[in-house]
Amino acid sequence: MDIFDRLRDARGPDWQGYVAHPFVDALGDGSLPIAAFKTYLIQDYLFLIQFARAHALAVYKSRRLADMRAAAKGVTAILERELDLHLTYCRGWGLDPEAVEKMPEHRATTAYTRYVIDVGFSGDLLDLHVALAPCIIGYYEIATGLAVRPGALLAANPYAGWISEYAGEGYSQVATAARTHLEALADRFMAPARFDEVAEIFGTACRLEADFWEMGWQSA
């Protein structure tokens, strides 16, 4: 098992609370209220802005050029492509991009993103990437799990596009690269005695991700 598998197994209840949240199940069968999804979309845009800051912090925390370049690619991808794509996607759901940009952060958005940044400041590069992993790698795991459910990718499911995007080849490459990088960082930075500390970061990030789903779930 790689480090991601080990972390997931060590924090099984936290992981399951995240990937099996009712919000996720409702994406798969199309029963999620539209209002809940729109709330999620707005907050996910604000979430991405803070994740750009987290990747910029990873540049600062890096001691190797390869790590710096990997983090810089993340910053560029978010700022130059993903934010604009997200606003375009929001427009397709009837959300005004200018209004989305002006919306305040929900507490759940602030809690997770600032936790990631705090972990990055107080810890090392491994700590930061462990805190990021439930989001970056977890979305692929969630989407691929949903994609095999009967009817999940049919046109009748309004969320089939979201599932296809995160289960697709493009995002698969993103998740695989993040997982490979996480494993390399663990080889360099993690002594066996440190595993429990790192697993706690992973578990906390999973719980905060579950709270992010809950934010959307409760908004309907």
The CA distance from 65 to 47, in Å, is 27
Question: Quick check: 90 and 161 in contact, CB under 8 A?
Answer: no
Element (H, E) at 131: helix 125-147
Quote the CA–CA distance of 119 and 112 in Å, as a whole number: 11
90, 141, 206, 209: the active-site residue: 209
Q: Is 209 a catalytic residue?
A: yes
What tokens were used for 172? 């698969």
Number of C-beta neighbours around residue 66 at 10 A: 10
Q: What's the rounded Cα separation, in Å, for the pair 220 and 63?
A: 45
User: In a 3-state reduction of DSSP, which class is residue 18?
Assistant: helix
Degrees, nearest 5: CA angle 34-133-139: 30
Give the DSSP H or E segment for 205: helix 195-219
Catalytic site residue 135?
yes
Would you state the torsion angle of the CA atoms of residues 57, 58, 64, 66, taken in this order, to the nearest 10 degrees? -130
Angular region, 191: left φ>0, alpha ψ -120 to 50, beta rest: beta
Catalytic residue among 101, 105, 135, 197: 135
- Residues assigned a catalytic role: 135, 209
